[in-house]
C-alpha cells in the first residue's frame, strides 16, 4: 500500500515526500476527500485547536528528522509532503500514518475511510504483527494469513539497527541510550501495525535481552506499547522459530542446516519435516566484534583470534547435533543476506532477488576478505550495507565462512525469511506466545 523513497531521485533532485500510497483504490478514496475541500477545512481546524496544531507540528518535525537520517541536510527540505507546517496533501499524511508516523491528519483520513465501504474485498483471515528484537536490530512483520491459503501476505516488513545489545556482553546490562533508541523504533512499529489493523502485536526478544539483568526496564514499555508481555525467547525457542520461518515452503535436499547468525548468538538447527537437533551458541556479530576486533580494519592477529573462537564453538556444536548429515545449508539474518547482496553486486538491497538465492562458498570467502580489509567507513559506503551493520559484519561473515568450510558446504541457500516469520506463523497456528 505504501513505499518509502530515498530523499532524492537518481538525478539528485529532492522528492517532496518519503512515503507514497501505491494502491490506486486508496489514492482515489483520499482524492475524493481532497475534492471536498478537506485540506482547507483541516488547515482551518488546526489554526483554532492548539492540541491538533501541536501534534501536526511534531509530525512535520519527525518526518523531517527521518528525511535527514537518510540523507544529512535533507531535513531542511521540510516535513510531510515537503511542507514545514499546516496541511498540504492528504495522500502524504495518510501514507505517513500507515508507515507508523504520529500524524493526526493521517489518522483523521483513516477514520473517514473506515466510515465507508471497504476499499477491497478480503477473504476471511487474520492480521498479526510480529517483532523480533535482536542484539543488533529490531524488525517488524505485519502479515495477513488468509483462510485456505498456505502462505501469508506481507503487509509490512521493516528493519532498523538500534543495537540494544551494545555493551551487554561486558556489562550485563542494557545501556540507557540503546534502550531509548530501541523504544523509539518500537513505538513507530506499534503505530504502523495498528494502522494496518493487526489484531495482535507480539515481541520476541533474543540473546542480548536474555543476558541483561535490567531487562525489566524494557519489559514494562514493551507491554505498554504492544499490549502484550514481552517474550524472552530461550536459545532453543529462537532456533526452532528460525527453522520454521526459513524452511516453510522450501523445496531442497534434506536435512537442512539452518544457520541464524545474530548479533549476540548464533543458532544451528538440523532437520527436515521435523527438527533433529538445535543449538544456540554465544557467538554473534556484535559479541565477537566487542571481544576480538578492536582495530579498524582488524589486524591479522585479531582475525586469527576471532577464527579460533568461532572454530572452538563449531567443534562443540558438531558434538551436539548431526550437522554432518545436513545436505542444504540455509543461512538467515542480515549477515548472510548482506554478504550475498555484495557478492551479487547489487546496487540496492532487494529481498526478492536475495530470497532463496545460491551463495557459492568461494563468493562468501571473497566477500569476507574484502570486508575484513576495509575500514568501517568504507564498508558503510557499500550501497547494500544497512546503517549500523558496517562495524560488525566482518565478525558475522567469519561465522558463515567457517561453517561452510568446516562442514563442507560448497554453497548456501540464502533465506530472507527467518525467526520473524516463525513468530508470526506461531501467533496464528498456536504454540508458545500465542
**Could you tell me if residue 196 is inside a domain?**
yes
Please state, in angstroms and as integers, the Cα–Cα distance from residue 25 to each residue in 1, 118, 201, 321, 334, following that order: 10, 10, 27, 52, 34
Q: Which of 63, 83, 115 is the last residue of a domain?
A: 115
For residues 43 and 151, membership in a common domain is answered with no
Burial of 300 (0-12, 13-18, 19+ CB in 10 A): exposed
User: In the prediction, which pLDDT does 255 show?
Assistant: 98
Asked whether residue 46 falls in the same domain as residue 147, the answer is no
In Å, how far are 127, 149, 172, 297, 416 from 153, measured between CA atoms?
9, 10, 38, 41, 15
Residue 426 lies in a domain: no
Q: What is the pLDDT of residue 246?
A: 97
What is the domain count for the chain? Answer: 3
At 191 the pLDDT is 97
Q: Does any domain span residue 220?
A: yes
Q: Do residues 205 and 266 share a domain?
A: no
pLDDT attached to residue 432: 52
| Position 230 in a domain | yes
- Which tens digits make up the pLDDT trace of 47-98? 999 999 999 999 999 999 999 988 889 888 889 988 888 998 999 999 999 9
Q: Locate 225 and state its grid cell.
A: 506499547
- Tell me whether residue 297 is in a domain: yes
d(CA 69, CA 181): 13
Both 130 and 107 in one domain: the answer is no
Do 279 and 318 reside in the same domain of the chain?
A: yes
198-211 pLDDT per residue, tens: 999 999 999 999 99
Q: What pLDDT was estimated at residue 199?
A: 97
Question: Where residue 211 sits, what CATH number does that domain have?
Answer: 3.30.420.40
pLDDT at 8: 85
Q: One digit per residue, pLDDT tens: the chain, 434 residues? A: 788 888 888 788 888 789 999 999 999 999 999 999 999 999 999 999 999 999 999 999 999 999 998 888 988 888 998 888 899 899 999 999 999 999 999 999 999 999 988 887 788 899 999 999 999 999 999 999 999 888 899 999 999 999 999 999 999 999 999 999 999 999 999 999 999 999 999 999 999 999 999 999 999 999 999 999 999 999 999 999 999 999 999 999 999 999 999 999 999 999 999 999 999 999 999 999 999 999 999 999 999 999 999 999 999 999 999 999 999 999 999 999 999 999 999 999 999 999 999 999 999 999 999 999 999 999 999 999 999 999 999 999 999 999 999 999 999 999 999 999 999 999 999 855 54
Q: What is the pLDDT of residue 431?
A: 58
Residues 354 and 268 occupy one common structural domain: yes
pLDDT at 433: 56
Residue 12 shares a structural domain with residue 50: yes
| Per-residue pLDDT reduced to its tens digit, 390-414 | 999 999 999 999 999 999 999 999 9
Helix (H, G, I), strand (E, B) or coil at 362: helix
- 3-state DSSP assignment of residue 8: strand
**353 in the same domain as 205:** no
If asked whether residues 111 and 129 sit together in one domain, one would say no
- The rounded distance, in Å, linking the Cα atoms of 317 and 344 is 30
Indicate whether 332 belongs to any domain. yes
Residue 433, domain member (yes or no)? no
Is there a single domain that holds both residue 213 and residue 324?
no
**β-sheet bridge partners, residue 140:** 131, 158
Query: In which domain, by residue range, is 203 found?
Result: 125-234
Helix 300-320 vs helix 393-406: crossing angle, to nearest 10: 50
Could you tell me if 256 and 357 lie in one domain? yes
How many C-alpha atoms does 98 have within 13 Å on its Cβ side?
25
Across the strands, what pairs with 408?
Answer: none
Whether residues 328 and 387 share a domain: the answer is yes
Residue 149 lies in a domain: yes
Locus of grid cell 495482535: 200
Amino acid at each position: 500500500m505504501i513505499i518509502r523513497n530515498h530523499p532524492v531521485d537518481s538525478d539528485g533532485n529532492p522528492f517532496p515526500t518519503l512515503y507514497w500510497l501505491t494502491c490506486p483504490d486508496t489514492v482515489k478514496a483520499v482524492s475524493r476527500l481532497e475534492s471536498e475541500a478537506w485540506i482547507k477545512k483541516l488547515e482551518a481546524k488546526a489554526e483554532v485547536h492548539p492540541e491538533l496544531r501541536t501534534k501536526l507540528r511534531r509530525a512535520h518535525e519527525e518526518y523531517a528528522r527521518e528525511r535527514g537520517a537518510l540523507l544529512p541536510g535533507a531535513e531542511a527540505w521540510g516535513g510531510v509532503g515537503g511542507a514545514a507546517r499546516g496541511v498540504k496533501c492528504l495522500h502524504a499524511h495518510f501514507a505517513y500514518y500507515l508507515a507508523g508516523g504520529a500524524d493526526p491528519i493521517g489518522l483523521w483520513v483513516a477514520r473517514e475511510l473506515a466510515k465507508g465501504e471497504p476499499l477491497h474485498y478480503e477473504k476471511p483471515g487474520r492480521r498479526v504483527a510480529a517483532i523480533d528484537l535482536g542484539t543488533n536490530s529490531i524488525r517488524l512483520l505485519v502479515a495477513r494469513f488468509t483462510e485456505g491459503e498456505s502462505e501469508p501476505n506481507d503487509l509490512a516488513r521493516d528493519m532498523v539497527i538500534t543495537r540494544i545489545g551494545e555493551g551487554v556482553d561486558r556489562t550485563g546490562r542494557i545501556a540507557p541510550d540503546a534502550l531509548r533508541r530501541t523504544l523509539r523504533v518500537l513505538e513507530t512499529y506499534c503505530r504502523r501495525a495498528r494502522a494496518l489493523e493487526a489484531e495482535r502485536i507480539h515481541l520476541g526478544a533474543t540473546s542480548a535481552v536474555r543476558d541483561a539483568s535490567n531487562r525489566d526496564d524494557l519489559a514494562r514499555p514493551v507491554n505498554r506499547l504492544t499490549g502484550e508481555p514481552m517474550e524472552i525467547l530461550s536459545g532453543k525457542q529462537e532456533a526452532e522459530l528460525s527453522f520454521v520461518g526459513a524452511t516453510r515452503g522450501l523445496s531442497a535436499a534434506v536435512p537442512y542446516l539452518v544457520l541464524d547468525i545474530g548479533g549476540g548468538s548464533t543458532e544451528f538447527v538440523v532437520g527436515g519435516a521435523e527438527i533433529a537437533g538445535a543449538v544456540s551458541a554465544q557467538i554473534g556479530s556484535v559479541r565477537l566484534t566487542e571481544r576480538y576486533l578492536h582495530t579498524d580494519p582488524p589486524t591479522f592477529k585479531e582475525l586469527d583470534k576471532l577464527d579460533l573462537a568461532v572454530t572452538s564453538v563449531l567443534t562443540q556444536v558438531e558434538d551436539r547435533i548431526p550437522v554432518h548429515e545436513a545436505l542444504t545449508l540455509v543461512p538467515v539474518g542480515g549477515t548472510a543476506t548482506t554478504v550475498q547482496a555484495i557478492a551479487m553486486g547489487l546496487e540496492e538491497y532487494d529481498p526478492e532477488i536475495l530470497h532463496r538465492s545460491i551463495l557459492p562458498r568461494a563468493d562468501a570467502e571473497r566477500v569476507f576478505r574484502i570486508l575484513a580489509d576495509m575500514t568501517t567507513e568504507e564498508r558503510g559506503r557499500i550501497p547494500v550495507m544497512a546503517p549500523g551493520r558496517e562495524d560488525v559484519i566482518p565478525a558475522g561473515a567469519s561465522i558463515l565462512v567457517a561453517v561452510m568450510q568446516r562442514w563442507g558446504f560448497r554453497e548456501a541457500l540464502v533465506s530472507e525469511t527467518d525467526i520473524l516469520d516463525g513468530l508470526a506463523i506461531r501467533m496464528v497456528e498456536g504454540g508458545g506466545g500465542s
